[in-house]
Amino acid sequence: MQYRKFGKLDWKPSALGFGAMRLPTNGEDQSKINEAEAIKMIRYAADNGVNYIDTAYMYHMGQSEIVVGKALKDGYRKKFHLATKLPVNMMQKGDDCDRILAEQLKKLDVDKIDFYLFHGLSKMGWEKVQEWKLLDWAEKQMAKGYFSHLCFSFHDDFPAFKTIIDGYDNWTMTQIQYNYMDENDQAGRKGVEYAAAKGLAIVVMEPLRGGKLSKEPTPKPVAAVISKAKRQMKAVEWALQWVWNQPEISLALSGMSTMAQVVENVKLAEHAKTNNFSTADLKVISDIKDAYKSLSPIACTQCQYCQPCPSKVLIPRVFGIYNEAVMYDDVKGGQFMYNAPFGLPQDQRADQCTECGECLAKCPQKIEIPEQLKKAHAALYLKNPPPPPGAPPKKKE
């Protein structure tokens, strides 16, 4: 296992962190974690050098923290630095934080959490933090010894990221979505550089883009690039090593669902070195990105000029889901994102288009939007959508 810098802390994390968001389950119900297998996976990671584990209040419908707590028994608490998160966006009032933290400590069965994160901050989430004076609250909890370091995870654009970092002097770490396909999205590379300059540790989530970059690509353009590369690596290794190549990154989290994934990722982390990519390697990454983008069926740039739609259709979002489903050969995943309760609201999907034509005059790419919306809806719509997370699967008739 390789170990790296963690911002200003005198502690070195493993290059690979264990993300407890995609633990193995018994069936489709995400709240029904296969505890025995999950604990076995977590402890295997610890026994092979992984020293950072990340969970959250909402993961697996509130069950992830419980299973992580069980995995930390028998001396394994000493092997891990533990991170969990306060679900700011789902809180109704500032007073909820006392109850939630107490519940988390109980579920994890620990006296102290190492890294406590405000979960998924955005501009709106940051406004809640300020309105409810959660920074003052967090300072008091640290003084009481309930957690050691205050951090935040993030989903928004770079200006919001910069505002949050500049809004508090004692952040220890930030957790961002970052992979070679999202290099310039959300906080992006600019965010990595800014956080590092401020002395923050940087934890990367979704280095494999929800698993899309881990499987060997079936689209010929992408497969051809990887097969012809001078350095022969599997798709998952290209993705992880691209993250690890950057010295500002403290560790890459992987939400592993099988023991095979844990074993493979631990092995890959043995070679997680910084500044290890040659010019030729970086060219391969650039070519992979171009190959994926060439597969995008709709030339939408997400400029938002077509918004607002008179019929409330979230045109860029629909096109984004459809494009990714085709690009990554993941129609099932696209259907899930399109139909799931937390996906697109039903009254904002593609089938709400009335073909008024207002968007056609606004689109700089001259996309035939109504026709493409029909195509996207036909590919993505499911008559029987997936159940809400945590809901028991429907019984077969």
Query: How many Cα neighbours within 13 Å face the side chain of 73?
Result: 11
Checking if the pLDDT of 40 tops 60, the result is yes
Report pLDDT for 386: 55
What does the pLDDT read at residue 385? 60
Nearest to 43 by CA among 12, 3, 11, 80: 80
Percent over 70 (pLDDT), the chain: 95
Residue 207 pLDDT greater than 90, yes or no: yes
Nearest Cα to 167, choosing from 207, 141, 138? 138
Average pLDDT over residues 216-229: 86
Mean pLDDT of 53-64: 94
Q: Where are the domains of the chain?
A: 16-286, 315-380
CATH class belonging to 16-286: alpha beta
Which of 11-15, 182-186, 388-392 is predicted least confidently?
388-392
Q: What is the mean pLDDT of residues 78-100?
A: 93
pLDDT of residue 247: 97
Which amino acid makes up residue 18? Answer: F
Q: What is the pLDDT of residues 323-349, one digit of tens each?
A: 989 988 888 889 988 887 667 888 899
pLDDT for residue 389 is more than 50: no
pLDDT in the model for residue 220:
83
**E strand or H helix that includes residue 205:** strand 201-205
Helix or strand or coil: residue 386?
A: coil
The phi and psi torsions of 324 (rounded to 5 degrees) equal: -65, -35
Q: Is 60 within 8 Å of 92 (Cβ atoms)?
A: no
| Among candidate residues 43, 93, 85, 92, the one with its CA nearest the CA of residue 64 | 85
What's the confidence (pLDDT) of residue 27?
Answer: 86
Share of the chain above pLDDT 90, in %: 79
Which amino acid is present at 364?
Answer: P
Query: Is residue 381 predicted with pLDDT exceeding 50?
Result: yes
Res. 252: pLDDT tops 80: yes
Q: What is the pLDDT of residue 390?
A: 43
Q: pLDDT tens for residues 116-172?
A: 999 999 999 999 999 999 999 999 999 999 999 999 999 999 999 999 999 999 999
Torsion sign, CA atoms 33, 38, 42, 43? positive
Residue type, 301: T
Among all chains, which residue has been given the structure tokens 């069965």?
Answer: 109
Mean pLDDT to the nearest integer, 254-272: 95
Three-class SS state of 354? coil
Check whether 273 has a pLDDT greater than 80.
Answer: yes
Please provide the distance, in angstroms rounded to a whole number, between the alpha carbons at the two ends of the chain.
50
Please state, in angstroms and rounded to a whole number, the distance separating the CA atoms of residues 346 and 323: 19
pLDDT, mean of residues 371-394: 74
Task: Record the tokens describing residue 88, joined without a space.
Answer: 């700011």
pLDDT at 397 over 50: no
- Cα 139–110–107 angle (5° rounding)? 100
For 45-112, the three-class secondary structure string (H helix, E strand, C coil) is: HHHCCCCEEECCCCHHHHCHHHHHHHHCCCCHHHHCEEEEEECHHHCCCCCHHHHHHHHHHHHHCCCC
Please tell me the pTM assigned to this model. Answer: 0.86
Query: Which pair of structure tokens corresponds to residue 319?
Result: 């096109």
How high is the mean pLDDT of the chain? Answer: 92
pLDDT at 74 > cutoff 70: yes
Tokens of 110: 């620990």
As a whole number of angstroms, the distance between CA 270 and CA 240 comes to 12
